[in-house]
Every structure is written in structure tokens, then in C-alpha cells.
């Protein structure tokens, strides 16, 4: 695996592969890699000939007061893990390569960014995500890009971006990877102390409880949400949001119909955690 730091280098490497007829897969990450990220890299390895993993802690998607400075940075280990999972190229640029002096452009995806994490982290979050992902697509020009369903709203934002701007890339969403006790893997889990780590399992258990309600045939949003909320309350967690929305366009649902997304965000100890579950009525 080659580590490259400049746009010119990664473009040169990719265009050589493309000239040879190779399919290029991209896995965008902010590093501090865990099994969730590695599942995307392995999936990319299966589905493409050249696998590019990007590692960039994107400053524009952090609001003031969020954890940009504290965000875990473990590049050496990330490089080993990415290589082990099948990456060919690790693109790890400095911030000045992505945002040179005078950088003035931002991409705003309207509508679906105004709820859930967009409402709570501020509109700038998804502007930052859309802008950096658009740049990565311009730089790497992948045939396929792999994202985790863990960030369900992010996947929808990227799909909208790609459709609206006619970007010639296929977006593949990959399943949420969990710890053995159900906690969704996240680079931010390192912020959890032992007590908070234990309490954090309540997010997945809350989603389980909601799923069980739906499996019993109760599909009303109040019942589904109450079941999830009870588990959170029991663990002393007051969620930032806990909402039932359409998995396709994030409109609020009054009952589980079609494909519903139950999404939760909560501060647990020092970490802001998110999780979600697709619910389908029988
Ligand atoms: P991040 O480094 O947090 O920006 O995440 C990079 C990519 O990995 C995003 O597409 C995430 O959705 C995905 N990802 C993060 N955690 C998980 C997980 N537990 N399971 C699956 N994908 C994940």
C-alpha cells in the first residue's frame, strides 16, 4: 500500500489504474480506523480493482466547540489496518492540500440536511461533509464509493449530492458493524470511560426494543418511540433526538410504513453517539 499526501500523486496513481481498465473504489474516512471502517475497505476490495482509502479529519464538518482538536489521530496504525484490509492507496493529505488559502466554495444539500444531525449539529456540518466528499470524488474519480449505514443521514445526503450534480459514481452503503455487546463501532467510542461505555449499549438495546414492538405488530410512532425511550431513560440517557422517519427522504412518520429509519443521537459521558435501525412493518 502506498501512502500519498498530494492531489497530484493520488490522481497520477488512479489514472494509471484507470488507463489499464481498472475499477476504482474509494472509502472516505476520518481515520482512527476500526472494524466498521475496515468492513468498507474489505467490501471495496471485493468490488474494485484499485482501492483508495482517504484519511482526512475534515475541519469544516466540525462545529465550533465540537471535538476537532480532540478527535483521535492514529495514522501509523490506520495505515497498517488499511493495508491489512486490502487498501492499495492511503490518501492522507494535510488540511492545506484540501483547503488551500482562499478556499471559498461550499456545497449545500437542502431539505434532508435540516433534520436529525443537521438540526442538532448545525447546517454547516453537512455542508462540510458534502463539500469534502465532492472534492474527494473530483480528486479520486472513483467508480464506486463506500459509506457506512451507521451514518444513515450522511448516506442520503451523499446520494442526493451525486444525483443532483450528475457525479458518475455509484454509492454503496454497508451495514453497521457492532461490538459484541451491540454498541455501534465509532472512532468516538474511545472517549467513553468504563461507566459510560456500559451505558452506551442502551442505544442499540433501545433500537432492539423498538424493533420488538414492531415485530409484535405495533407500528404507531408513539408506541415504537416509547419503547426505545424507556430503555434510554433506564440507562440515564436523555437523547438529543430519537425519531422515526422515512429511510428514503427523512420525512417524519406517524407509523412504521415502507422502510422506516429509527435514528438516535445521545451524549453519553464524553462522547456524542449516533445509531439507527431500519424498521419494516410485517
Ligand atoms: P468516519 O471516519 O467516522 O467519518 O467514518 C468513515 C466511514 O465509515 C463512514 O462512511 C461511516 O459511516 C463508516 N462507519 C463508521 N462506523 C461504522 C460502523 N460501525 N459500521 C459501518 N460503517 C461505519
What is the full DSSP assignment across 85-107? HT-SEEE---HHHHS-TT-----
> Can you tell me the mean pLDDT for 117-121?
97
Give the model's confidence band at 157: pLDDT under 50 very low, under 70 low, under 90 confident, else very high. Answer: very high
Q: pLDDT above 70 covers what percent of the chain?
A: 100
Catalytic site residue from 34, 37, 120, 125: 37
Q: Is 128 in the pocket of ligand 1 (CB under 6 A)?
A: no
Whether 159 is covered by a domain: the verdict is: yes
184 lines ligand 1 (CB under 6 A): yes
Domain membership of residue 170 (yes or no) is: yes
Q: Is 90 exceeded by the pLDDT of residue 282?
A: no
Mean pLDDT value across residues 220-230: 98
What is the overall mean pLDDT for the chain?
98
CA distance 102 to 136: 19
Residues 144 and 168: their CA atoms lie apart, in Å, by 9
The residue whose C-alpha atom lies closest to atom 17 belonging to ligand 1 is 36
DSSP per-residue letters across 247-266: TTT--B-SB--SEEEEEEEE
pLDDT tens for each residue of 50-91: 999 999 999 999 999 999 999 999 999 999 999 999 999 999
Q: Is the CB of 38 under 6 A from ligand 1?
A: no
Does ligand 1 have an atom closer than 6 angstroms to the CB of 54?
no
Question: Do residues 170 and 223 share a domain?
Answer: no
170 and 205 in a single domain? The answer is: no
Domain residues for 102?
2-174
Query: Residue 224 has what pLDDT?
Result: 98
Last residue of a domain, one of 174, 198, 233: 174
Q: What is the mean pLDDT of residues 203-211?
A: 98
Q: Do residues 208 and 86 share a domain?
A: no
Site to probe by mutation for ligand 1, drawn from 28, 29, 152, 186 as the one with most ligand atoms within 8 Å of Cβ, is 29
Amino acid at each position: 500500500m502506498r501512502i500519498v499526501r498530494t492531489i497530484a500523486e493520488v490522481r497520477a496513481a488512479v489514472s494509471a489504474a484507470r488507463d489499464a481498465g481498472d475499477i476504482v473504489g474509494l472509502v472516505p474516512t476520518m481515520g482512527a480506523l476500526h472494524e466498521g471502517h475496515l468492513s468498507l475497505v474489505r467490501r471495496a476490495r471485493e468490488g474494485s480493482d484499485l482501492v483508495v482509502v482517504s484519511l482526512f479529519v475534515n475541519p469544516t464538518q466540525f462545529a465550533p466547540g465540537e471535538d476537532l482538536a480532540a478527535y483521535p489521530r492514529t495514522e501509523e496504525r490506520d495505515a497498517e489496518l488499511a493495508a491489512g484490509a486490502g487498501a492499495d492507496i492511503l490518501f492522507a493529505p494535510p488540511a492545506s492540500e484540501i483547503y488551500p488559502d482562499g478556499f471559498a466554495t461550499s456545497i449545500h444539500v437542502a431539505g434532508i440536511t435540516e433534520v436529525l444531525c443537521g438540526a442538532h449539529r448545525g447546517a454547516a456540518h453537512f455542508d462540510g461533509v458534502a463539500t469534502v466528499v465532492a472534492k474527494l470524488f473530483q480528486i479520486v474519480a472513483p467508480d464506486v464509493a463506500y459509506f457506512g449505514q451507521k451514518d444513515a443521514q450522511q448516506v442520503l445526503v451523499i446520494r442526493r449530492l451525486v444525483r443532483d450534480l450528475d457525479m458518475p459514481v455509484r454509492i454503496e452503503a454497508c451495514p453497521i458493524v457492532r461490538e459484541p455487546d451491540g454498541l455501534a463501532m465509532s472512532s468516538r467510542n474511545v472517549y467513553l470511560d468504563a461507566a459510560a461505555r456500559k451505558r452506551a449499549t442502551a442505544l442499540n438495546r433501545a433500537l432492539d426494543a423498538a424493533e420488538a414492538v414492531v415485530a409484535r405488530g405495533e407500528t404507531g410512532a408513539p408506541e415504537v418511540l416509547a419503547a426505545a425511550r424507556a430503555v434510554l431513560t433506564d440507562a440515564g440517557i436523555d437523547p438529543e433526538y430519537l425519531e422515526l422517519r422515512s429511510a428514503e427522504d427523512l420525512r417524519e412518520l406517524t407509523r412504521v410504513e415502507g422502510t422506516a429509519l429509527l435514528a438516535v443521537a445521545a451524549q453519553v459521558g464524553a462522547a456524542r453517539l449516533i445509531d439507527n435501525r431500519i424498521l419494516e412493518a410485517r
